[in-house]
Structure 1
C-alpha cells in the first residue's frame, strides 16, 4: 500500500477503491452504536480531515475506543466515496496502528475547539496542530517558493549572504552583539573598554540587520541577484508589526534605477498573490470563513489595481491639509508613522501606495543623493492594513558622495573599505529593495499580528521557545 497525503485525495489524485496508508493525528472521534467508530484524521497537508471507518472487528478496537484528540495513528485502508453528506470521501480501515498516545488528555492544550491567537502564542511548540496555523504555514511555504520561482525565471541568482557581520547596514546601531566572552570575565583594555581583540573574531561582531551590502558586491559582477533569509533588529518595539528576528527578501540589480526596481517590486507582489490564489484555494476558503470574508475578492482586486506613485513632499502636503488629528506632529522631515501610512493608503481608496524621494536625513547612507542635494532616490511601498512592506533605493555609486554621507552620519569609512572598493573598481548604477516576508504573509492572510505568522516569534521580552 502507498502512503498518501490527505490533500492528494481531495485533489482527486487517488483512485476510488485504492488501498492506501494515511499517517496522521486524531482530530475527532465518534462512536456509533452499530459496531463501528468514525475517526477524523489530519496530516497537515490540508485543513480538511479524512474520515476513517473503524469497525469493531479490528483486533485493537478496544484501544481505538480510547483514542483522544492528538493521538497519532497509521491507517491502512480502502478509499471509498462517503455515504454521508458532510464529506466526499472516507477510508474503510483494515488496520489501525496507534503510534502515540496523549498523556493526561484532560490537560492537552490543543483540544478540538477554537483557540484565541493570544493563547496559541503561549503554546508555540504545539500551535501548528491547529487548522489556522497549518493554513498560515502552507501559505507561507507557497509564498516562499513562488518568490524563488519568480526570480529564477527572471535570471536572478540566489546569494547566501552572511548572518554574522561587523558593520551596521542601516547605520542605526540597533543590532544584536555576538560574543563568546564569559560575561563574568570580560577582558578589558587599560582604559576600561572591552578588548574585542580577544573575542572569537578579534573584533566586534553582530547579527545582521540586512544582507544588502554584501549582496551588492555580487550585483556588481553577476548583475541580478537576491538573498532570502533571517535578519535581526534590536528595536525596542513591542507592536503587532515588529519582530526581533524576521525574514526578508532582498534584491539587487546593476544598471538599474528607481523606476526599474519599482516595476520589479510590483511585479513580484502580484505574481505571488496570483500563485497563492491558484495553489492555496483550500487555505483561502478556510480564511474566508474564519478570518476575512472578503479575502478572495481583496486579493483578486489587488492583481488589477494600479499602484499610486507619489513623492514624499506631496505626502506631507496631503497630511498637513487633512482634518485628521494625528498623534505625531506632521512636518517635512518626519519619518512617517503607521497612522500616517494608514491615512495615505485610505486617501488613495485603499490601494497600494508608492512613496518616493525621501529627505536624506531619514534614510541610510547608501541611498543615492538626488540632484537637489536634500533628498535621496528612495522608495517605500505601502499596502492597505499593513503599511510599509517594501523599502528600496538607488544605491550611491559615486565614491565621493558615499564618503560624504558616511561622514555626515558619523560612520567610520574604514569599516566600509570593501564597500567603497565596489565604487573604486568598475562602479555601476544599481538599485535594490527589501521585502518584509512576514508583513507580506499578513497582507495575504488578513492576520494583523506578525507573531502569528512566523513559527517561533522573537520579540521584546519574549523568548520562550
Structure 2
C-alpha cells in the first residue's frame, strides 16, 4: 500500500479509511500513543495503537527513533492540539532503534551537542524546520531569477583565479606531498600537477560570471564556495553557498534595486510557504531569548523581523554619511563600541552596521561608495579617485548580508588597479578580454546563502543552518 505524507494527512479535509503512514517515532506513551514524524512537516501525527491486540514483543520495539509503518483509519482526534489521528489496525517495525543509545531523545539538547551529532540532528524539530526553510529558500532563489529571465550559470569550483585577492584559498593538487617536484628555481613545479598550474577551490564565481553576463545579459550563479580563513566564529564557514547575479548595462542604482527586490521576494516566499516551521522557530527563539540578559535580547520577534524587511524601503546612505553618523553617535562617544570610529576610511564592523539599521535609521540600510582601499580591485573607481561604486546591504541582528558593486568596465583603469595591488595580468588575461572586446557598464552582488538562512530562521550560529559545517579542525561526517 502506498503511504501518504503526514503533512497531507494533517491537511486532509475529511476522515479517510485505510491510510498508510511511514516515519520515525518521536515518542511512545502509555503503550498506546505514537507521535510519528516523516520530515514533511514540523507536526507529528498521533497514531493510536490497539495495544491489547498487538504482540508485546512488537510494543517493546516501538522506541524513540525507530522507523515504523502504520495502517489504519484517519479519524478526528479526541486529544487537544490536533485535528486528526490514525486509529492503527496494522503496525510494522521497519527499523529498530536502540532507545538507550539513540542521541536524539525527546528533550532539549544544546546546539553544541547537536553539532557533534550532525548526522542525526535533523531528526529534531528545530533542525527539521531549519532544513525545510533552507530548501524552500533555495527554490525561491531560482524562482526569482528564472521569472526575471536570468540564465543560471555553473561557474567552476576549481580555479586559478582569486576573485577577492585575499589569498585565503584551499589549494587543489594531485602532487605527492611527501615528494614535491621542484623546478630549476627550486620552487614547486606546478607544470607537473594535474592542471599544469597552481589551482584552488573557488571563493567566488563572480569573475567567470561576468564573462557570461557580457554575452547573455543577465546571469546568476548559485553554488559552493570555499575560504581557508582560520576563523572559529559564529559567522564563518570554510565551505558555504553563494548567490551571485551579474547584469550587463546595470549601474550601481539598478544593482541596488535588484538586490532589494530579490531579498524581499525570497523572504516573502518563505513566509508564505513555511508558516508552521517559522512559527516553531519563532517560539524557539523567544525561549532562547529569556535566558539572555535584557540588554542582549532582540528587540523584534522572528516574524516581526522578517516583516520589517518586507515593509520598509531600504535606506540608501553613502559610506561617508555613515561614518559621520557613527562618529557622532552616543556609543562611539562613550566608547561603547568595541571598534571606535575615529576617521574616514575605517572598515565597518558588525556593531556599526547593526547600529545604523537598528538604532539610527530603524530600517534596512544600503551603504554605497566605499573607500577604494578597503574594497576589491574589480569595483568601479569613482571620479573622486578615492571611493568605488560598492554597496553593502545591512540587516537587523546580522549586519552585512549582501555585498556588491558596479564593476570597473574601463580597461586602462582596471589594469592600473591590478598593477597597484600586485595582481598578475597574465593570470587574468581572459578577464581583461571582457574589457577589450565590447566592454559595457555592468554590476552584480554576492549573497552568502547561509547568512540568509541564518536571518530567516533566527538562528545565531551559521554552523546550524548548513547540513554538515566545515570549520577549522572540523571536517567530520
* CA shift digits 1:232-282 (9 cap, x unpaired): 111122111111111110000001101111111111111111111111011
Alignment of 1:299-314 (within 5 A): 299-314=306-321
Helix, strand or coil: the match of 1:209? coil
Partner of 2:359: 347
State how far apart, in whole Å, the 2-side matches of 1:296 and 1:372 are.
42
Q: Which runs of 4+ in 1 moved over 4 A?
A: 57-61
Alignment of 1:54-453 (within 5 A): 54-56=49-51, 58=53, 60-103=55-98, 105-292=99-286, 294-324=301-331, 325=335, 326-330=337-341, 331-453=343-465
CA-CA distance at 1:100 after TM superposition? 1.0
CA-CA distance at 1:61 after TM superposition? 5.0
Partner of 2:292: none
CA-CA distance at 1:59 after TM superposition? 5.5
* CA shift digits 1:42-101 (9 cap, x unpaired): 001111111111113655453123321001111122211112223211111222111111
* CA shift digits 1:386-427 (9 cap, x unpaired): 111100000111111110111011000110100011111111
Helix, strand or coil: the match of 2:103? coil
After TM superposition, the score normalised by the length of structure 1 is 0.96
State how far apart, in whole Å, the 2-side matches of 1:76 and 1:117 are.
35
Structure 2, unaligned runs of 5 or more: 287-299
Helix, strand or coil: the match of 1:230? strand
State how far apart, in whole Å, the 2-side matches of 1:59 and 1:363 are.
68
Structure 1, unaligned runs of 5 or more: none
CA-CA distance at 1:19 after TM superposition? 2.0
Q: Any conservation in 2 of the 1:308–1:348 contact (CA below 8 Å)? A: no
Partner of 1:16: 15
Q: Any conservation in 2 of the 1:135–1:283 contact (CA below 8 Å)? A: yes
Helix, strand or coil: the match of 1:106? coil
Helix, strand or coil: the match of 1:73? strand
Q: Which sits farther off after the overlay, 225-234 or 4-13? A: 4-13
Q: Any conservation in 1 of the 2:213–2:247 contact (CA below 8 Å)? A: yes
After TM superposition, the score normalised by the length of structure 2 is 0.93
Q: Which sits farther off after the overlay, 300-309 or 192-201? A: 300-309
Count of aligned pairs between the two proteins: 459
CA-CA distance at 1:12 after TM superposition? 2.5
Helix, strand or coil: the match of 1:246? strand
* CA shift digits 1:299-331 (9 cap, x unpaired): 223211121111111111112112322332422
